[in-house]
């Protein structure tokens, strides 16, 4: 019940949201549609000022995933019918695409078509000026750049230029950058115009309950759904605060929650009974469907034919890889080369290494385990030398052995270190885990632990 009270309280608060220059009823509906983001909405609106006033040249809005950054900004733009161009920076593989999208949003596709083939920033500014002189802004124009962290990989001059675009084009335009990371990671070496920073904090548990309770099922009471959400958050809140993910999980598991109700085994008031029914199910969901070990469709199917109680094969259960015989040994050799210091090769792979040296070797010079340090690169020659002493039969060093190395690289079981053009002695790293190599060596009857320096 507390949830509902909070909900009403928030609603009452939203009525007070007022901003000159914008229609009041739209603002109210906007505030209703954006629960738990009233403060952000308010400050955003006050920053934006009245539509015909010049706004601050650039905002920088940051916050974690699914904290409603783009949702709030885009809802404001759409509901208040402000001229805006929304661009996802992931899509902009070149700055030209960004210019294209902005121009076509403001001045129509014809204007965008005037851009030259590989437009530079000055082309964009020139064209923008030209267009805006024909149709000057009556309201502030907004350019919204989602996932702005991608901008850092683009042309280095692009971000500073966009931050003071207002000055450059001499038009009432504001750039809003949305990002998951903080501004400090953006600031270029050369310095730039500082945007207004604006943080969207994470939702608290109460807020999450409130938001999730919004999409309650029409055939059940909101109270029931709210209690369902409470149970769900009780399980998942410790591992996941991503609203989108939680919403997805809530939708997936609700039918299971309602099962006793449908069957008539429980009433809506029997929260405890319902909880007992759903809790283990949600625990299982956390281990499988949340990690995407099991796809959501499979999960739903499993819910439907629950009686069969088939245990779904999760993705990571198929870790087994079939490899040709020599590939297995190549991989083992690569693993040994990656995790053993090169100087220990004499001790492991030489028949007459002598006893005295052995005791010397057992003195561990390095305290840290090589497995903690990760794989080290090794040259091809060393790999082959280990390979020939590891493999039990006499193998002719043929081209097909070498092609297996490169196919292991494409399978990403090995990774090539350094430049691609090293023909003479390429270096590799082994990128498989100890468990994997143990499984592989078991299939060929090779005791890999005996050859590992760390386990000596």
Partner 1 sequence: YNEALTAAQLNKNGCFVFKSASKKRKRQLGVGDDDNGSDRFRIGQKLWETVQMNTEVIQDQLNKKVLDSLAEFIKKHGLGCSSDVWRQRASEIPTAALMLGVNVPDHAMTFRSLCNLLQDSVTPFVVSVHAKECAVIPVKLLIQKVLEQLMGSGVSVDEEKEDDTALLQRTPCTISALCQWYKTVTKKCIQVSPERKENLTNNDLPQSLPVVVIFKDFEAFNSQVLQDFILICSRYTQELPFVFIFGIATSPSAIQHRLPHSVSSLLCIEVFHSLSCTQHLASVFDKLILNAQFPFKLSSRVIQVLVGVFLYHDFNVQNFVKGLQFSMLEHFNSQPLSLLCCQKQEALLSAKTLSKQNVEQIRHLPSFMRYVETQEPQEQVRLLTNDEHVKEVCQTLLKNLHKYHKNYYPILQCLHSLTSSLPKFPLGKHIRELHVSCIEKNLWETEEYDSALQLLRILAKDELVAALRKCAETLKSANTKRMQNALQQLEDFIGRLETLEEDSSGNGVISAKMEYQKTDLFQLQKTLLEKESRRTKRMNSFEVLRSQVMDFIDSLVREYLTPAEFQPLNEVCYYSSSGVLRHHPFYYLKVTDHSFRLTRFYDECS
Size of the site for partner 1 (CB under 8 A): 59
Q: Please pick, from the candidates 402, 449, 450, 455, the single residue that binds partner 1 as defined by CB under 8 A.
A: 402
Q: Is 93 in the site for partner 1 (CB under 8 A)?
A: yes
CA distance 28 to 220: 27
SS3 call for 406 = helix
Q: Is 13 in the site for partner 1 (CB under 8 A)?
A: no
Cβ nearer to partner 1, comparing 324 with 418: 324
Burial letters for 235-247: b for 16+ Cβ neighbours within 10 Å, e otherwise?
Answer: bbeeeebbbeebb
Q: Compute the least distance from the CB of residue 220 to partner 1, in Å.
A: 16
Q: Exposed, middle or buried by CB within 10 Å (0-12, 13-18, 19+), for 286?
A: middle
Pairing of strands 378-379, 427-430: antiparallel
Cβ nearer to partner 1, comparing 351 with 365: 351
Q: Is 296 in the site for partner 1 (CB under 8 A)?
A: yes
Q: Is 411 in the site for partner 1 (CB under 8 A)?
A: yes
Of residues 168 through 197, those in contact with partner 1 by CB under 8 A are none
The torsion angle over the Cα atoms of residues 274, 278, 279 and 283, rounded to 10 degrees, is -170
Instruction: Tell me if 243 sits within 8 A of 208, measured CB to CB.
Output: yes
Q: Is 443 in the site for partner 1 (CB under 8 A)?
A: no
Q: Is 120 in the site for partner 1 (CB under 8 A)?
A: no
Cβ nearer to partner 1, comparing 14 with 404: 404
Structure tokens, 449: 């632990």
Q: Is 12 in the site for partner 1 (CB under 8 A)?
A: no
Query: Which residues, in sequence order, are CB contacts of 444 under 8 Å at separation 6+?
Result: 325, 328, 329, 332
CA distance 350 to 352: 6
Q: Please pick, from the candidates 244, 357, 358, 450, the single residue that binds partner 1 as defined by CB under 8 A.
A: 244
Q: Please pick, from the candidates 65, 187, 199, 364, the single residue that binds partner 1 as defined by CB under 8 A.
A: 65
Q: Is 407 in the site for partner 1 (CB under 8 A)?
A: yes
Q: Is 357 in the site for partner 1 (CB under 8 A)?
A: no
Name the one range near partner 1 by CB under 8 A: 26-34, 43-51, 73-81, 397-405: 397-405
Burial letters for 32-60: b for 16+ Cβ neighbours within 10 Å, e otherwise?
Answer: eebbbbbebbbebbeebbebeeebebbbb
Q: Compute the least distance from the CB of residue 115 to partner 1, in Å.
A: 10
Burial letters for 333-364: b for 16+ Cβ neighbours within 10 Å, e otherwise?
Answer: bbbbbbbbeeebbebbbeeeeeeeeeeebeee
Q: Is 295 in the site for partner 1 (CB under 8 A)?
A: yes
Q: Compute the least distance from the CB of residue 350 to partner 1, in Å.
A: 6
Q: Is 309 in the site for partner 1 (CB under 8 A)?
A: no
Structure tokens, 392: 């039990």
Q: Compute the least distance from the CB of residue 67 to partner 1, in Å.
A: 14
Cβ nearer to partner 1, comparing 252 with 417: 252
- Binding residues for partner 1, rule: CB under 8 A, are 65, 88, 90-91, 93-94, 96-97, 100, 113, 244-245, 247-248, 251-252, 291-292, 295-298, 300, 313, 315-316, 318-327, 345, 349-351, 381, 384-385, 388-389, 396-404, 407, 410-413
């Amino acid at each position: 019940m507390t949830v509902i009270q909070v909900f009403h309280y928030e609603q009452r608060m939203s009525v007070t949201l007022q901003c000159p220059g914008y229609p009041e009823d739209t603002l109210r509906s906007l505030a209703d549609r954006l629960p738990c983001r009233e403060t952000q909405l308010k400050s955003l609106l006050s920053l934006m000022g009245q539509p015909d006033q010049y706004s601050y040249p650039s905002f920088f809005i940051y916050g974690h995933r699914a904290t409603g950054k783009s949702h709030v900004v885009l809802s404001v733009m759409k509901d208040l019918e402000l001229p805006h161009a929304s661009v996802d920076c992931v899509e902009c593989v070149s700055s030209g695409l960004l210019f294209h999208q902005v121009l076509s949003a403001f001045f129509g596709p014809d204007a965008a078509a005037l851009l030259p083939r590989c437009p530079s920033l000055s082309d964009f500014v020139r064209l923008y000026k030209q267009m805006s002189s024909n149709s000057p802004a009556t309201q502030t124009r907004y350019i919204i750049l989602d996932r702005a962290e991608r901008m850092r990989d683009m042309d280095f001059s692009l971000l500073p230029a966009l931050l003071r675009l207002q000055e450059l084009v001499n038009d009432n335009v504001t750039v809003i950058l949305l990002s998951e990371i903080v501004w400090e990671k953006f600031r270029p070496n050369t310095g730039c115009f500082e945007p207004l920073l604006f943080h969207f904090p994470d939702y608290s548990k109460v807020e999450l309950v409130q938001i999730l309770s919004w999409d309650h099922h029409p055939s059940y009471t909101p109270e029931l759904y709210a209690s369902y959400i409470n149970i769900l958050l009780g399980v998942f809140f410790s591992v996941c605060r991503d609203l989108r993910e939680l919403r997805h999980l809530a939708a997936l598991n609700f039918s299971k929650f309602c099962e006793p109700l449908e069957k008539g085994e429980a009433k809506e008031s029997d929260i405890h009974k319902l909880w007992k029914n759903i809790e283990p199910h949600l625990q299982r969901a956390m281990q499988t469907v949340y990690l995407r070990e099991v796809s959501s469709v499979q999960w739903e199917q499993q819910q439907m034919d629950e009686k069969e109680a088939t245990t779904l094969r999760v993705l990571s259960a198929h870790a087994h890889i079939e490899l040709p015989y020599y590939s297995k040994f190549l991989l083992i050799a690569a693993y040994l080369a990656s995790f053993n210091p090169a100087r220990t090769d004499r001790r492991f792979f030489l028949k007459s290494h002598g006893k005295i040296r052995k005791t010397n070797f057992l003195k561990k010079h390095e305290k840290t385990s090589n497995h903690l340090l990760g794989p080290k690169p090794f040259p091809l020659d060393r790999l082959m030398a280990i390979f020939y002493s590891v493999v039990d039969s006499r193998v002719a060093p043929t081209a097909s052995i070498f092609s297996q190395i490169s196919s292991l690289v494409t399978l990403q079981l090995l990774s090539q270190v350094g430049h691609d053009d090293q023909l003479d002695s390429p270096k590799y790293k082994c990128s498989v885990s100890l468990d994997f190599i143990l499984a592989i060596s078991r299939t060929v009857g090779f005791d890999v632990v005996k050859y590992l320096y760390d386990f000596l």
